[in-house]
Amino acid sequence: MNGVARIALRSAARLTAAAAVALLTQHGAARAVPQNFVMHPAPKAVPAVTFEVETGASQSLAEFTGKVVVLNIWATWCVPCRLEMPALDRLQSILGSDGFAVVPVSIDRGGIEAVKKFYGEIAIKNLPIYLDVSGQAVRRLDAVGLPTTLILDRNGQEIVRVIGPAEWDAPEITEFLKSIIARKVDSIEQVAHNDDRHESTPGLLARGLRWLKALVAK
């Protein structure tokens, strides 16, 4: 084995070790979150969704690409939605940044004023107002009830779906979200795919990841 090959193998081994830490951390976090957090085996594409902002202008969900997003579909007349909204407000206060956003989309037909009134009643301070009177977000996202929440990665793909309310500022949930925020846009799995794609046999990193995934799945 020549010097270049040895360096390449050492680099691949270091990446495999990093992948091991990432996978085991993610696996542990996934075990801690509530049962209504449905983890997808692979990221899922999200349909195009637009909604109205407080000024009346239109905004696209795609504009949040690059951030981890907690997309919450809710309404002021939905009792579980009303109960979880303060926790979502606190979550935005804790994690809100260039890399994370809570995006609460109300389907209230009463319009922006109905949401403003509700925000005032329960002292919401950190959440913006987004409105979808048409209900197209519910249909396009296949929301089966309210609240329905999608967790989107930085690529704008759905990685978790939550049916029903959650204690969004609970330590186990905030730690889980932090682990997602910490990931780069090009995930370790994508690097492994690139490593695999350029060889006739699976690359070392790809083989290591497959072994680790099999291990944590047991």
Whether residues 71 and 21 fall in one domain: no
**Continuous segment of H or E residues that includes residue 9:** helix 3-32
User: How would residue 33 be classed by pLDDT, with cut points 50, 70 and 90?
Assistant: confident
- Work out how many domains the chain is built from and give that number: 2
Domain enclosing residue 21, as ranges: 1-32+186-218
Q: What percent of the chain has pLDDT over 90?
A: 68
The mean pLDDT value for 35-56 works out to 96
Q: In terms of pLDDT, which residue wins out, 216 or 102?
A: 102
pLDDT in tens, 127-160: 999 999 999 999 999 999 999 999 999 999 999 9
Examine the domain organization and report whether 67 and 167 are in the same domain. Answer: yes
If pLDDT is split at 50, 70 and 90, which confidence band does 3 have?
low
Question: Is 23:189 a contact under the CB 8 Å cutoff?
Answer: no
Burial of 51 (0-12, 13-18, 19+ CB in 10 A): buried
Residue among 136, 33, 148 nearest 81 (CA): 148
Does residue 169 share a domain with residue 196? no
pLDDT in the model for residue 31: 54
Quick one: average pLDDT of 12-30? Answer: 44
pLDDT at 13: 42
Global pTM exceeds 0.85:
no
Q: Judge if 135 and 212 occupy the same domain.
A: no
For the chain, the 3-state helix, strand and coil shares in percent, each to the nearest 5, are: 45, 20, 35
Assess whether 19 and 79 both reside in one domain. no
Q: Who wins on pLDDT, 29 or 73? A: 73
**Do 120 and 81 have their domain in common?**
yes
CATH of the domain at 119: 3.40.30.10
Q: Are residues 118 and 79 both part of a single domain?
A: yes
Find the mean pLDDT for residues 169-185: 92
Q: Are residues 83 and 172 in the same domain?
A: yes
Residue 113 has pLDDT above 70, yes or no: yes
Asked if residue 8 has pLDDT above 50, the reply is no
pLDDT value at position 206?
A: 54
Residues 128 and 22 in one domain: no
